[in-house]
């Protein structure tokens, strides 16, 4: 059996710093669990533009297509604000998603008990929260045609088109149902069928797919009502499936229920490859945070938990993924905090590297 391959793209800003802590976790599995990976590294975003004049070199794109999983840090920064839209660092990430056909974006929102007081909601509302939003990632209003800014009469008009085919809805719905089957067998589909034809089609297709999953309790909700319910009582949900635009908004809303973007991982999954594994890109939800880059202040947990998602969804190592997640939970329960997680109790923050070391120590203790 061949060694699973992992392409690491640290990117910009704090990306290289948090990815260095992931490398510690990867090395730990090789040394302590006899679980090794064929790891390679390359450039994306601003770093790729600096080296190659493009946010994603064709060779890097080809490597991403060949490996079992891609792990990305973050892209972007004010240094690149003046670039043409086609050259901005974010275009490298979008190209990866589009050309790898990563149509299902998994965004968990989990609130660790030790951090429940960081949420803007009451602790009893968010403590123990563990939901998953499945966002369609390669179609919808972000990709539909026609799009652009055009002259119309004596003024300009901006146009974006919300467009979905039945097959695009079907495949992301099946991903969500499969995930629900492995969790609490409860799925809520969110759209705007009351005012959008694409929403009507979305609801019809999801309902039809649901007939293949009779064990899953399927419900439908308008996306604006879903946003309200997420802030009222988020624990009523388990898995949520929605389109690209609403998924972008709702997953960011759900992220802040947990108190810190620095804690949240994500996975973007595509169709199965010849080895049965889905094409996959894993990345933390947070951005490149150029204001703290190079200062050792970044929280590496979201990137480490993204690797845990890779263990679960790409490498069939669910028990080892849980080992990483429990190590993170144990470190937080001990009161170890990076600067973004500090309250008013006078706790001295640890550095990015020290947080990584603390998690490795908990992994050692798990053996």
Q: What is the pLDDT of residues 232-259, one digit of tens each?
A: 999 999 999 999 999 999 998 998 888 7
Mean pLDDT, the chain, whole residue set:
94
Q: What does the longest C-alpha to C-alpha distance in the chain come to?
A: 71
255 assigned to a ligand binding site: no
Known active-site residue 248:
yes
Q: What's the pLDDT at 150?
A: 96
Q: What's the pLDDT at 342?
A: 80
Q: What's the pLDDT at 346?
A: 63
Residue 343 has pLDDT above 90, yes or no: no
Q: What mean pLDDT comes out for the span 193-222?
A: 98
From the candidates 68, 243, 248, 340, which is the catalytic residue?
Answer: 248
CATH classification number, 1-108+264-367, choose in 3.40.220.10, 3.40.47.10, 2.40.50.100, 3.40.718.10: 3.40.718.10
90 assigned to a ligand binding site: yes
Rounded to whole angstroms, how far apart are CA atoms 73 and 118? 24
What H or E segment, with its residue span, contains residue 213?
Answer: none
97 assigned to a ligand binding site: yes
From the candidates 101, 113, 224, 357, which is the catalytic residue?
Answer: 224
3-state helix, strand, coil in the chain (%, to 5): 45, 20, 30
User: 5-47, pLDDT tens digit by residue?
Assistant: 999 999 999 999 999 999 999 999 999 999 999 999 999 999 9
Known active-site residue 50:
no
pTM, two decimal places? 0.91
Domain spans in the chain, listed from the N-terminal domain onward? 1-108+264-367
Residue 1 has pLDDT above 90, yes or no: no
Q: What mean pLDDT comes out for the span 150-160?
A: 96
Pseudo-torsion of CA 195, 179, 327, 348, nearest 10°? Answer: 0
Q: What mean pLDDT comes out for the span 279-296?
A: 95
292 assigned to a ligand binding site: yes
From the candidates 49, 142, 164, 213, which is the catalytic residue?
Answer: 142
């Amino acid at each position: 059996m061949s060694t699973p391959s992992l392409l690491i793209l640290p990117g910009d800003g704090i990306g290289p710093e948090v990815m260095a802590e992931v490398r510690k976790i990867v090395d730990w599995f090789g040394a302590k669990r006899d679980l090794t990976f064929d790891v390679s590294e390359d450039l994306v975003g601003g770093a790729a533009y600096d080296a190659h004049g493009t946010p994603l070199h064709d060779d890097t794109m080809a490597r991403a297509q060949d490996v079992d999983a891609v792990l990305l840090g973050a892209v972007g920064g004010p240094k690149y604000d003046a670039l043409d839209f086609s050259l901005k660092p974010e275009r490298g990430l979008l190209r990866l998603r589009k050309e790898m056909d990563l149509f299902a974006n998994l965004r968990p929102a989990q609130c660790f008990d030790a951090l429940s007081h960081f949420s803007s909601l009451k602790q009893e509302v968010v403590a123990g929260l563990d939901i998953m939003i499945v966002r369609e990632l390669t179609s919808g209003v972000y990709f539909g045609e026609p799009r652009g800014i055009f002259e119309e009469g004596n003024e300009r008009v901006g146009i974006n088109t919300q467009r979905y085919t039945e097959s695009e809805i079907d495949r992301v719905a099946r991903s969500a149902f499969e995930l629900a089957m492995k969790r609490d067998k409860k799925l809520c589909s969110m759209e705007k069928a009351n005012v959008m034809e694409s929403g009507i089609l979305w609801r019809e297709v999801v309902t039809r797919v649901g007939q293949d999953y009779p064990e899953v309790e399927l419900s439908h909700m308008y996306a604006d009502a879903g946003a309200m319910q997420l802030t009222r009582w988020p624990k009523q949900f388990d898995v949520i499936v929605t389109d690209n635009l609403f998924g972008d908004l709702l997953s960011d809303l759900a992220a802040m229920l947990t108190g810190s973007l620095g804690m949240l991982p994500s996975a973007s999954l595509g169709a199965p490859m010849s080895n049965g594994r889905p094409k996959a890109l894993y990345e933390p939800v947070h951005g490149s945070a150029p204001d703290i880059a190079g200062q050792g202040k970044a929280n590496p947990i979201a990137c480490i938990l993204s690797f845990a998602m890779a263990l679960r969804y790409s490498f069939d190592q669910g028990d080892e993924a849980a080992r990483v997640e429990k190590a993170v939970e144990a470190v937080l329960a001990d009161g170890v905090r990076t600067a973004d997680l500090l309250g008013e109790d006078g706790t001295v923050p640890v550095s990015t590297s020290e947080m990584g070391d603390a998690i490795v120590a908990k992994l050692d203790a798990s053996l």
